[in-house]
Structure 1
Amino acid sequence: MRYSKDHKQETHARIVKKASVRLREKGAHGIGVADLMKEAGLTHGGFYAHFDSREALVIEAFAHAMDRSTERWRKLVEDMPPERRLATIADSYLTRAHRDDPGHGCAVPALGAEIARESPKTRKAFAARLEQMIDMLADQIPDAPRATARKQATATLATMMGTLVLARVAGSGEFSDDILEAGRGAVLERAGFTASGVKKAAGKKAAVPARH
């Protein structure tokens, strides 16, 4: 049976989406091609009709996940005052729900350590998406030179992702919750907010309600 071009594209997208979730849940080497194809409702034999290699699928899958994260952040803050955006992104990122659902969360804490040991091609693709994330966060920092905004965005992203990794290592109890709280506090402090989400002002506190 011959399928239309649209059908093939839809199938390809379905494989990438399913693989993206499973790779974040199980790790880059925690699930094989046969299982990934089964997840998408296809046979192992059909894999090479869509991808040149397993590496090609891995690259597309984590790129899909990182693009989704960036787009989610953009939509989250699009109607917010610029000065609140970075803190809001961090506050939404460092949550129990995100900690407990790696399959639908950010790809970097889930796969970053493994990707660092992959081929130069895979690392290059990952790094390109990481730069896009940093640029997007830098766009949310008002009234700062671009180099300064990128530096702050990089530090914020590193804090967010490192916090999430440690929180997952610690499990889901009080210690893990404390790690999430400490990470949120560090990011808010760097962004010029108090731990309760109130914007700091010179000489006094401006009571700006936090949005979560």
Structure 2
Amino acid sequence: MPYPEGHKLKVRGKIIESAAQAFRTHGIRDISVPNIMKGAGLTHGGFYSHFDNKEQLVAEACRYAINDTIALLQEAAGQEQQGPGIHAVIDYYLSQEHRDITELGCILPALSAEISRSSDEVRQVFTRELERMIEFISLTAGIDKDKGGVVLSTLVGTLVLARSVNDPVLSDSLLSSGKQQAKALISA
């Protein structure tokens, strides 16, 4: 019996979603294709009918994860009722929730260090997705792209450090200070 129309696309989507969650949590190098496929509820034998290699999957997972993050941040901005939407974006991005739930968080702080050592294909996709995030921040804040890049860099760097330390008080302090600095950058 043949698969229904759209089945292969749906399965591919499940693999990309599983990969994005796994990469956000464990990084690229420390997660295997069989683990990704298992996370999607599939056997690893079918991987190559959807992707040429793991690098192609990394690129697709980056696109997926940035789309996911932008959607979450747009939702946060849309719920802001008392101030600029960008403040809600900053508050969410540098929240304890975003810090602690890495598998659903922004892929930029999770993978930037590894991406710098990846193939040109992956780096090209990552670059385009980073540019989309800068564009989103810039449009939401009503600032130019240069300033948007600085704000995003502040957010990503703050989140990396807040996730890296084992002192919860220091981590929370970093998040709080990062929020203040990012908001000050927009106002400057």
Compute the TM-score of the two structures, normalised by the length of structure 2: 0.93
Name segments (4+ residues, structure 1) moved above 6 Å: none
Percent identity over paired residues: 35
Where does residue 156 of structure 1 map in the other structure? Answer: 151
Q: What's the RMSD between the two structures over aligned residues? A: 1.9
**1:22-51 deviation line (CA, Å, top 9, x unaligned):** 111110111111111111111111111111
Structure 2 match to 1:111? 111
Instruction: Name 1:120's counterpart in structure 2.
Output: 120
Gaps spanning 5+ residues in structure 1: where?
Answer: 194-212
Instruction: Name the SS of the counterpart of 2:141 in structure 1.
Output: coil
Alpha carbons 1:100, 1:172 under 8 Å: kept:
no
Contact 1:87-1:191 within 8 A present in 2 as well? no
Give, as a single letter, the amino acid of the residue that structure 2 aligns with 1:160: L
List runs of 5+ in structure 2 lacking aligned partners. none
Aligned to 1:184: 179
Q: Which has the higher Rg, Structure 1 or Structure 2?
A: 1
Alpha-carbon deviation of 1:155?
Answer: 0.7
Number of the residue aligned with 1:95: 95
In structure 2, distance between residues paired with 1:53 and 1:47: 8
Which residue does the alignment assign to 1:71? Answer: 71
Count of residue correspondences: 188
1:102-146: per-residue Cα shift (whole Å, max 9, x none)? 11100000011101110111000000011011111111233x5xx
One-letter amino acid of the structure 2 residue matched with residue 123 of structure 1? R
Matched residue type, 2:18: K
- Is 2:165 aligned against 1:170? yes
- Structure 1 residue 76, shift from structure 2 partner: 2.4
Shift of 1:180: 0.8
More helix by share: 2
